[in-house]
Amino acid sequence: MSRILVVDDEEAIRFYLTLLLEDRGYSIKAVADADEALRAMDDEPFDLVCLDIMMPRRSGIWLYSAMRTRPSGRHVPVVFISGFSQVNDLRDERAFRRTVRDESIPMPEVCLEKPVDPAKLLGAIERLTSAPQQTGGLDVQR
């Protein structure tokens, strides 16, 4: 059973994703912010992270960058789930590099637009948790 960390400041989104993913047999830990997510990743291993981009205090982009520089998160696949304008900002490498300047940090694996299509999310999670670990190569879907 894959262990997934859900990071979103909106309680309703955390609740929805937890129900959706637990119903499919995934083990879920849901947290509300980037600092809590880093502590969780230091405490236990995760097979995948579902991550909102726009969060108070520290953004999902900040968390993604921090994850990629830590042993506990360096190779964990990430599915970004956010609004259209944030997803649009991650469509190509140049846009991504305007925000994340460290070339050693790869582009995220998947970026889905809210409201998330459950079939697309589940398909992305299945693909990322069953495939050999790879980081980079953005798959942006609406």
What mean pLDDT is predicted for residues 61-83? 93
What mean pLDDT is predicted for residues 92-98? 85
- Give the tokens for residue 134: 């790879």
Burial class of 142 by CB neighbour count within 10 A (0 to 12, 13 to 18, 19+) = exposed
What is the gyration radius of the CA atoms in the chain, in angstroms? 13
The residue that leads in pLDDT, 29 or 89, is 29
What mean pLDDT is predicted for residues 100-117? 91
β partners of residue 30: 6
- Give the tokens for residue 82: 């956010």
Instruction: Provide the domain limits for residue 64.
Output: 3-141
Residue 79 and residue 109 in contact, taking contact as beta carbons nearer than 8 Å: yes
Percent of the chain residues topping a pLDDT of 90: 72
Q: How many separate domains does the chain show?
A: 1
Residue 61: which CATH number? 3.40.50.2300
Give tens-digit pLDDT for 23-43: 999 999 999 999 999 999 999
Burial class of 135 by CB neighbour count within 10 A (0 to 12, 13 to 18, 19+) = middle
Residue 60 and residue 82 in contact, taking contact as beta carbons nearer than 8 Å: yes
